[in-house]
Amino acid sequence: MGPAPPLDSWYAHPMLANNPRAVVTGAASGLGRAIALQLGARGGHVVVCDIDLGGAETTKQLVEAAGGRAHVERCDVAVASDVEHLRDRALAVLGGVDLVVNNAGVAVAGAIGTVPLANWEWIVGINLMGVVHGCHFFVPVLQAQGAGHVLNVASIAGVTFPPQMGPYCATKAAVVALTECLAGEVQGTGVGATVLCPYFFATGLHQTARVDSARISAKQLGSLMKKSKVQADEVARRALQACDRNELYCFPHTEAKVLQLLKRLSPRAVPVLLPRLEQLAKLWRPRARPSSR
């Protein structure tokens, strides 16, 4: 076995094509919009997908203002026929696909046994089956091309599992597992897969969250999201950088890196240390080097 290629070789030969042709679900706002804008800045042609057509049209305009091209498609990722149609429309509009971003997602909170089953079905349909549908219909396209990348958006909640978040954690953990399986299946084919596991940041996810808990509220979730120093634009940039490098995992927040490390070293310590996570993250962050002047 020869030596590993130098790290800068990933930058010289990025996984994503120049002027990438991309499909982004849940792109009417939040992270989906931020990823679409980053792709627009790369000169990309983006199919902007969402059930919110007004927000999707706004994203389209912003992508074009950033230097890219965009096309809007309505798609409910929980419906297989919608995603199949999306694939057909994307191929007609783009002529091929370099990147598929399975980003659409929702949140449900509450204790297991009290969360209504209808809410379980809702979140599984979008967070898990939406990703399954995206992979099912687009991966064969990428394999036939012999090139392309899949970015599945999970969460640090797919790696560490706080109480009262069972439905969300279960679906995001499934996305992590699905992406690991996919990465192994496409290895050596020219196709890659990355799973994004961010910490809290402002996305608007709390606005549609279904919460059945006295211990946590949508307002509290929103407050946590606003505190993050790494927000959607930077999360999107780091996610695409991970795709360029064909990295399997992307933990864009220091807090997420700390949590996944703690989970490996001492799983039982995570619930105890969660309240002190911000302090631990500060210790983890590299300090600025003193000036040489």
List strand residue ranges (DSSP E) for 147-262, in order.
Answer: 148-153, 191-196, 210-212, 249-250
Rounded CA separation 163/153 (Å): 21
**Residue pair 216/164 in contact by the 8 Å Cβ criterion:** yes
Q: Which residue has 């990309």 as its token pair?
A: 44
Catalytic, out of 11, 168, 199, 249:
168
In Å, how far are 108, 170, 218 from 116, measured between CA atoms?
10, 15, 17
Q: What letters, b where the CB count within 10 A reaches 16 and e where it falls short, cover 115-149? A: beeebbebbbbbbbbbbbbbbebbbebbeeeebbb
Residues in the chain: 293
DSSP 8-state secondary structure symbol assigned to residue 158: G
Pairing of strands 21-24, 99-102: parallel
**CA 178 to the chain's CA centroid:** 13
Is 168 annotated in the active site? yes
Rounded CA separation 72/76 (Å): 13
Query: How far is the first Cα of the chain from the last one, in angstroms, to the nearest whole number?
Result: 45
How many CB atoms sit inside 10 A of residue 283's CB? 9
Rounded CA separation 47/100 (Å): 10
Query: What crossing angle do the helices spanning 129-145 and 80-94 adopt, rounded to 10°?
Result: 30
List, by residue number, the catalytic residues. Answer: 168
